[in-house]
């Protein structure tokens, strides 16, 4: 089960073992998992290493501690707003959590034919690209590749720190762009190796692949974002009205 000679650190192997138990339902949501001591005996590893693995899974929200009782499989899932146009920062604020980002890359590029169709601009026009890992209370939630029409927000990348600032906020405050509507698609697939490492999920874990085209008040397309959300941390809920009413 745990291979001390494998290149992967032992605590990572323990994490994977526990995540697999959760995935397979062996450890069900809300269940107490075996104690550190029991795990160290079952897996023939030292207790400190088990503790390190558990601490990380607590940090990523897979497990939670009930003081004096033990460690439990988390039930907490994030609701995704499906009826209102909100930013990641706003969604986290509504949940009482702190949004932050790690900027993975940013820069200007020239629109390819496909991008020019998506953003309704001429081929070769300037596009602002921002790739961010989005975190909620330091837990990685999503990777977002955002593209914006530079003509609407010239100089966006100068003087802003998108590891701390909200993009929608900056668009409104500095460029008076009020985002009024978005078209969104949601699909499912498996995490790539890069995504699983950035989002701290297993390679086989589900990803919610989301695209969003966001419109300004004049009907102009301002933003196109492709996101990879950690599927295991989300619950999609919507209020449905009868089609016959
Ligand atoms: C949301 C949007 C994303 C937008 C971002 C702005 C989805 C699927 N995506 O995450 O398109 O760029 O918010 O967030 O909801 P910010 O204002 O916090 O930077």
Q: With bands split at pLDDT 50, 70 and 90, how would you rate the model's confidence at 75?
A: low
Residue 212 domain flag: yes
Of the residues 73, 93, 112, which one is the last residue of a structural domain?
73
Measure the CA dihedral 38/41/46/51, to 10°: -20
Residue 207 has pLDDT above 80, yes or no: yes
How does the average pLDDT of the chain come out, rounded?
92
117 and 60 assigned to the same domain:
no
Residue 29 has pLDDT above 90, yes or no: no
Of the residues 73, 91, 112, which one is the last residue of a structural domain?
73
Higher pLDDT, 61 or 12: 12
Residue 59 domain flag: yes
Residue 243 domain flag: no
168 Cβ inside 6 Å of ligand 1: yes
| C-alpha–C-alpha distance, residues 129 and 145, integer Å | 7
227 Cβ inside 6 Å of ligand 1: yes
Q: What is the CATH number of the domain that holds 162?
A: 3.40.1410.10
Report the domain count for the chain. 2
The answer to whether the CB of 117 falls within 8 A of the CB of 67 is no
What pTM was estimated for this model as a whole?
0.75
Residue 242 domain flag: no
232 Cβ inside 6 Å of ligand 1: no
Residue 108 domain flag: yes
Residue 3 domain flag: no
What digits encode the pLDDT tens for the residues 147-164? 999 999 999 999 899 999
The answer to whether the CB of 145 falls within 8 A of the CB of 131 is yes
224 Cβ inside 6 Å of ligand 1: no
Looking at ligand 1, which atom is closest to the CA of residue 169?
Answer: 17
How many Å lie between the centroid of ligand 1 and the Cα of residue 242?
30
- Nearest CA residue ID for atom 2, ligand 1: 87
What digits encode the pLDDT tens for the residues 173-194? 999 999 999 999 999 999 999 9
How many Å lie between the centroid of ligand 1 and the Cα of residue 87?
4
Structural domain harbouring 189 = 78-237
Residue 158 domain flag: yes
């Amino acid at each position: 089960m745990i291979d001390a000679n494998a290149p992967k650190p032992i605590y990572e192997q323990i994490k994977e073992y526990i995540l697999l138990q959760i995935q397979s339902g062996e450890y069900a949501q809300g269940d107490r998992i075996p104690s550190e001591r029991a795990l160290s005996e079952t897996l023939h590893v030292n207790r400190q290493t088990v503790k390190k693995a558990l601490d990380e899974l607590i940090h990523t929200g897979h497990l939670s501690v009930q003081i004096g009782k033990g460690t439990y499989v988390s039930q907490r899932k994030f609701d995704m707003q499906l009826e209102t146009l909100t930013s990641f920062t706003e969604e986290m604020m509504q949940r009482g959590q702190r949004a932050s980002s790690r900027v993975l890359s940013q820069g200007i590029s020239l629109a390819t034919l496909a991008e020019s169709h998506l953003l309704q601009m001429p081929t070769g026009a300037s596009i602002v690209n921002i790739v961010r890992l989005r975190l909620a209370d330091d837990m990685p939630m999503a990777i977002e590749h955002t593209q914006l029409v530079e003509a609407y927000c010239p100089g966006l990348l100068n003087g802003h720190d998108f590891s701390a600032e909200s993009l929608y906020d900056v668009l409104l405050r500095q460029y008076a762009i009020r985002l009024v509507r978005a078209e969104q698609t949601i699909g499912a697939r498996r995490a790539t190796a890069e995504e699983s490492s950035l989002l701290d999920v297993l390679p086989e874990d589900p990803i919610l692949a989301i695209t969003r085209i966001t419109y300004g008040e004049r009907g102009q397309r301002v933003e196109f974002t492709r996101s990879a959300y950690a599927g295991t941390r989300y619950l999609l809920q919507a209020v449905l009205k009868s089609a016959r009413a």
